[in-house]
Amino acid sequence: MMKEQMDIVYEDNEMLYQTLDSWQALSNKAVLVTGGTGMLAACLVRFLVFLNQKDQLGINVVVLVRNQDKAKRMFAEIFHQITLVVQDVCEPVQYKGNIDYVVHAASSASPYHIKHDPVGIIKANVQGTLNLLELVRNKNIRNFMFLSTREVYGRVEDLEYLTEQDFGTFDPLDSRSCYPESKRLAETLLQAYATQYQVPYSCVRIAHSYGPVMFLNDGRVMSDLVGDVVHSRPIVLNSDGSAMRSFCYVTDAVSAMLLVLLKGEQGQAFNIANETEEISILQLSHLLSDLKEGTIPVKHKIVSDSAYCQYQRTKLDVAKIEGLGWLPKVSLREGLEKTLAYMEAE
């Protein structure tokens, strides 16, 4: 990792450290993080190692990944401080040690994979969750947190904000439904294991997170736009750019996740979103171009792609997570500056 990247990681870890007054709840605990090379999971892994370094907490950071070489590259500077489990979460999970907390982040939200590997999407969310629940149901864990999505709410009309109880409709034959429907079934599995085996759980329904180590050009709008900028390509919009979004920087999302894991009422779902800076895709494109001093042109190429969610945007109500003391701290401009600086240091 380059010095510029290490500086950004350290700054982000210090920001996360302010989430709680004390991290003693994690002292000498084992935390299993699946999908460890994903953006949110990787940020969490690095922070748990940071806690060990800063407060000598003795956390056993267990990281499940499919690709060992990728994990070695991503976590090169801390690789000797994590316990690596290399396997597909869709297979029975082979880990014999103690586990106190699970953060299940092994899944893909990429429109490319939704379009080309819908069965794989379903397996990771459903079979993967089932395998992990089977692993821990006799381990007396403290909490199992599942990373879900705002898309579980389906098509909801006539509401400005969605609370955790507001659900709309789905077409199960829509080719894109593999993603939200499998997330919904995974949430139902958690409740089933809580009912039958008393496995404690929490769900976090996350909307539009971004940041360093995010996958580029995977079909999600922020991923594609940042990918264009990092590679000095013109930004090409597949629409008129009028669609509105709000984006949550990775440390803001992870701080909310940690609050839910350690302080949230179990058996509940929590929305995680930064609704403070709504922006159109066109405005976002020009903001990214401005961060590169206007050297990245913005163009349009209108296409139709069923892999994109076509529902009208409804904001997420975040009162529940705010009740745990959470507020987003990173502005969109600051988050984009960090993201670009990190990626351009490669």
Q: Which residues are catalytic?
A: 179
Provide the CA 291 distance to its chain's centre, in angstroms: 25
φ, ψ for residue 273 (rounded to 5)? -160, 150
φ, ψ for residue 275 (rounded to 5)? -95, 15
Structure tokens at 308: 């994109």
- The 3 state secondary structure assigned to the chain is CCHHHHHHHHHHHHHHHCCCCCCHHHCCCEEEEECCCCHHHHHHHHHHHHHHHHHCCCCEEEEEECCHHHHHHHCHHHHHHCEEEECCCCCCCCCCCCCCEEEECCCCCCHHHHHHCHHHHHHHHHHHHHHHHHHHCCCCCCEEEEEEEHHHHCECCCCCEECCCCCCECCCCCHHHHHHHHHHHHHHHHHHHHHHHCCCEEEEEECCEECCCCCCCCCCHHHHHHHHHHCCCCEEECCCCCCEECCEEHHHHHHHHHHHHHHCCCCEEEEECCCCCCEEHHHHHHHHHHHCCCCCCEEECCCCCCCCCCCCCCEECCHHHHCCCCCCCCCHHHHHHHHHHHHHCC
Q: What is the dihedral of CA 26, 334, 284, 161, to 10 degrees?
A: 50
